[in-house]
Amino acid sequence: MSEFQNIGLIGRTESGSAVFSLKRLMAFLEQGGYTVILEQETAAAVTGQGQGARISSKEKLGEQCDLVIVVGGDGSLLAAARALAKFSVPLLGINRGRLGFLTDITPDEIETKVGEVLAGKYIAESRFLLDMSVSRDGKPFGRGSALNDVVIHPGEFIRMIEFDLFIDGQFVYTQRSDGLIISTPTGSTAYALSGGGPIMHPKLDAIVLVPLNPHTLSSRPIVVEGSSEFKIVVREHNVARPHVTCDGHDQVITLPGDVIRIHKKPHRLTLVHPIDHNFYETCRSKLNWQVS
């Protein structure tokens, strides 16, 4: 018997192709005798299919499921990760987005690859997330979490922002730039890569800080220990009101004097991959690395 019996499904409901793959996946799971639990919005998108499936909120899936399968793009998996990491339920991704670094099963492999995972043939990877909080006058007023990155940026206006950076209580620098990306290894192939940051292997216990268009050519990306704690103080001279986003969501708008704190989340996420998953092959295919 498979270790995964209760299987949650989350889908990119605005995508017709994702809904098609969801229905195909549901039929496969139900034929195999698995208990299917649909996330609420996903259930609404597949009306008429899977009448025996249970329906649950995204958070409750973490309590009820042995495995959650996400059908969509990396953004869909990031959202599921933020909601479910605290429950330690593993996630498996089927790609119905564009790049698909995290959702690595293609639609035409659903029965084959998902079947292998359910039979115990898979690779499990542990990934860490970041917790972010913002305080004003010593009182917290905004927070969020991220699997990829926390980004500080000027918001809707293109203006340089100025801030002080501290790592583990030690002053690092005062920077004027378009912002700063604080990225996990998982996020190193996302926005941080576009900003000139290094690609980090997912197994690394490290965090990279990538300045966005800094006002000095000597300001370069910094890779630090994964247990590091960051404090960013928004300086008084800012004309813009710096925004803080987590994986592009959970936006907090700051004021001069606000303090942003970022550190590793205590709960880790387990990502499940097919048995033939290879990080370097993913990089070759997604980033178009040269093959002789």
Can 74 be counted among the known catalytic residues? yes
Q: How far apart are CA 128 and CA 200, in angstroms?
A: 13
φ and ψ of 233, to 5 deg: -105, 120
Q: How far apart are CA 62 and CA 270, in angstroms?
A: 12
Q: How far apart are CA 122 and CA 136, in angstroms?
A: 46
Structure tokens at 196: 């000139």
For 213-216, the CB contacts below 8 A with 24+ separation are 213/177, 213/178, 214/175, 214/176, 214/177, 215/160, 215/175, 215/176, 215/177, 216/176
Cα dist from 171 to 175, 219, 232, whole Å: 12, 15, 10
Which residue is catalytic, options 74, 149, 178, 247?
A: 74
Does residue 74 contact residue 100 with C-beta atoms inside 8 Å? yes
Beta carbons within 10 angstroms of residue 208's beta carbon: 24
Q: Which of 33, 15, 143, 124 is nearest to 71 (CA)?
A: 15
Beta strands of the chain (E only): which ranges? 6-11, 35-39, 54-56, 67-72, 91-95, 122-136, 139-146, 149-153, 161-167, 170-177, 179-183, 206-212, 222-225, 230-234, 243-246, 249-253, 259-274
Please give the span between the terminal C-alpha atoms of the chain, in angstroms, as a whole number: 44
Q: How far apart are CA 78 and CA 103, in angstroms?
A: 10
- Which residues carry out catalysis? 74
